Amino acid sequence: MDLVVTPAPRLRGRIFPPGDKSISHRAVMLSAIAEGETVVEGFLWAADCIQTVRCMRRLGVPIEEEAHRLVVHGVGLRGLREAEDVLDAGNSGTTMRLLCGILAGQPFYTVMTGDASLRRRPMDRVVVPLREMGARIEGRMGGKYAPLSIHGGNLRGIDYSLPVPSAQVKSAVLLAGLYAEGSTTIRESIPSRDHTERMLTVFGAEVSRGTQWVTVKPPERLYGTKIQVPGDFSSAAFFIVAAAAHPRAEVVIQNVGLNPTRTGALEVLREMGAQVEVIPHGEVGGEPVGEIFVRGGPLRGVRIEGDRIPRLIDEIPILCIAAAVAEGETVIEGAGELRVKESDRLAAIAIGLRALGITVEELPEGLVIRGGRFRGGRVHSFGDHRIAMAFAIAGLLSEEPVMIEETDCIVISFPGFKEALQQLILS
Ligand code: S3P
């Protein structure tokens, strides 16, 4: 379905972002292999996380859906059973990569696949360390691409330095480490999101950490618990940027996750001159949460590079929309990972920005965006939820309407996005 977004004279109101996608995936997986019941409040009912629920059910885990919560009847670390059919991760890299870690520890055989986008994304980054731990994993192109087949079991702990800063790879190895003989250590030169480490502790696993390493010991059991999923900062970011870049805007984002490994975009927006105020409200389920107040005003170009990239990796599409209406040039470097996300996001952003009248240069691992004005036009989402939502926000800031083609993909992470957008325009 196409979506037409018309320029908004002003933006006002409150946004309750949907549950955090990364945390929702992890909550289902960890509660499935814990003992006893886990209630997950605020679970994200979006296509990606639903795929994780389906996979865990196929592995024999009873999961009940209630209005705003999920009740998972954990089967224990050794209680999963071989699925009768291929597991489908859909569009979700997190489902496939994290589940590979759990499945590497199981004494049975699994085949996992995904949609056309996921089957193009690199899986060797998890296959290589999991093979080193002792799992037998095969896939297309020698294990680079899904479908993947996994013969798990008999793992040994490893000490592994991540070649790319990736929370998904770190998490896959940590989860496999739950089943390994001896402890497993992962080293990362640039810190990536740490939800797995935090949640493992909540479920009773022994995790020790330094600034650039994390070690997990195989526990005897994990314990079912209650998990409160905070609002997703990455979903909130679309509205944070919309408000920050709009001349007449005042928006409050409530109950949003503020994990510092996720909020690099706030620092960048402040450097751009955005008026953003954060009110922390403590922690829920081991994750910091709070409120964010945003007021609109002029923005200036900025450099986005280095250690900061993993802390804002999913926000680059929407930060590019801010850059496009900022004064001066924004340079993004060291973001080659964007080429292997749900789409080649560097290419998708460059094509979309040009279609709306913005001057942009595509670099091998980044972009140079010259701030200007959106003149309106037609862009394509490339089937990528974050590209679709980023250009929807461009429509609010544009001189003429913006039409985004193929926006059904928004359900991947933010099913209520269009309603939230509408509410900000009308309140
Ligand atoms: C995620 C990690 C990031 C992120 C993705 C979700 C996670 O991917 O881009 O949307 O839940 O661990 P990488 O680990 O590949 O960087």
Residue 68: its pLDDT value, please? Answer: 77
Q: What is residue 67's predicted lDDT score, i.e. its pLDDT?
A: 79
- Cα of 420 vs centre of ligand 1, distance in Å, is 24
- Cα-Cα-Cα-Cα torsion 179, 203, 312, 267, nearest 10 degrees, comes to -140
Query: Would you state the CATH architecture of domain 3-19+230-426?
Result: Alpha-beta prism (3.65)
Contact 91 CB / ligand 1 (< 6 Å): no
Which residue ranges of the chain lie beneath pLDDT 70? none
- Rounded Cα–Cα distance for residues 284 and 254 (Å): 14
Residue nearest to atom 13 of ligand 1 (CA): 166
Active site residue 314: yes
Residues near 265 by beta carbon (within 8 Å), at least 6 away in sequence:
233, 237, 240, 241, 312, 315, 318, 319
pTM of the model: 0.98
| Residue 6 Cα to ligand 1 middle (Å) | 31
Tell me if 314 CB under 6 Å of ligand 1.
Answer: yes
Torsions phi, psi for 282 (to 5 deg): 85, -155
Could you please report the per-residue DSSP string of 314-334?
Answer: GGHHHHHHHHHHSBSEEEE-S
Query: Is ligand 1 within 6 A of the CB of residue 313?
Result: yes
Of 314, 344, 384, 408, which one is the catalytic site residue?
314
Ligand 1 contacts CB of residue 88 (under 6 A): no
Whose tokens are 């009912």? That residue is 45
- Binding site membership of 94 for ligand 1 (Cβ less than 6 Å): yes
Q: Where in the chain is the domain with CATH 3.65.10.10?
A: 3-19+230-426, 21-217
pLDDT, position 236: 98
CB 192 within 8 A of CB 310: yes
Q: How far is the CA of 52 from the centre of ligand 1 (A)?
A: 15
3-state secondary structure of 8: coil
170, 313, 338, best to mutate for ligand 1 pocket (most atoms within 8 Å of CB): 313
Per CATH, the homologous superfamily of domain 21-217 is Enolpyruvate transferase domain (3.65.10.10)
Residue 422 CB: number of other CB atoms within 10 A? 12
CA dihedral 282, 239, 277, 399 (to 10 degrees): 180
| Ligand 1: nearest atom to the Cα of 196 | 12
Residue 193 CB–ligand 1 contact under 6 Å: yes
Ligand 1 midpoint to CA 310 (Å): 9
23: Cβ below 6 Å to ligand 1? no
Hey, whose CA ends up nearest to atom 4 of ligand 1? Answer: 314
Rounded to whole angstroms, how far apart are CA atoms 209 and 167? 15
- State the distance from the centre of ligand 1 to the C-alpha of 401, rounded, in angstroms: 32
What residue owns the CA closest to ligand 1's atom 10? 314
CA–CA distance, 312 with 306 (Å, rounded to integer): 11
Q: Which of 53, 36, 142 is nearest to 94 (CA)?
A: 53
Does ligand 1 come within 6 angstroms of the Cβ of 175?
Answer: no
User: Does any ligand 1 atom lie closer than 6 A to the CB of residue 235?
Assistant: no
Is residue 196 within 6 Å of ligand 1 at its C-beta?
no
> Ligand 1, from 26, 175, 193, 385: best to mutate by most atoms within 8 Å of Cβ?
193
How many angstroms is it from 171 CA to the middle of ligand 1? Answer: 10
